[in-house]
Each structure stands twice: as structure tokens, then as C-alpha cells.
Amino acid sequence: MSGGQELNLPPGFRFHPTDEELV
């Protein structure tokens, strides 16, 4: 997890699936 991706995702979507987790 980079930590910056949470800010890129909408607040309702950042629960579990980050871009790095999905890959």
C-alpha cells in the first residue's frame, strides 16, 4: 500500500479494495 491511493479513491470506495490489493 502506497498510502496515496486512498486519497485518489472516493471516500466510500476506499474501504478494502485499493488498486494494489486488486492486482
pLDDT digits (tens, 9 = 90+) for 1-23: 555 555 666 666 656 666 665 55
Give me the pLDDT at residue 8, please: 63
Rounded CA-CA distance 19/1 in Å is 9
CB-side exposure of 21: number of CA atoms within 13 Å? 10
Amino acid at residue number 7: L
- Are the beta carbons of 7 and 21 closer than 8 angstroms? no
Does an H or E element contain 8, and which?
helix 5-8
Rounded CA-CA distance 11/23 in Å is 20
Give me the pLDDT at residue 19, please: 65
Give me the pLDDT at residue 23, please: 59
Give me the pLDDT at residue 16, please: 62
Give me the pLDDT at residue 12, please: 64
Give me the pLDDT at residue 7, please: 60
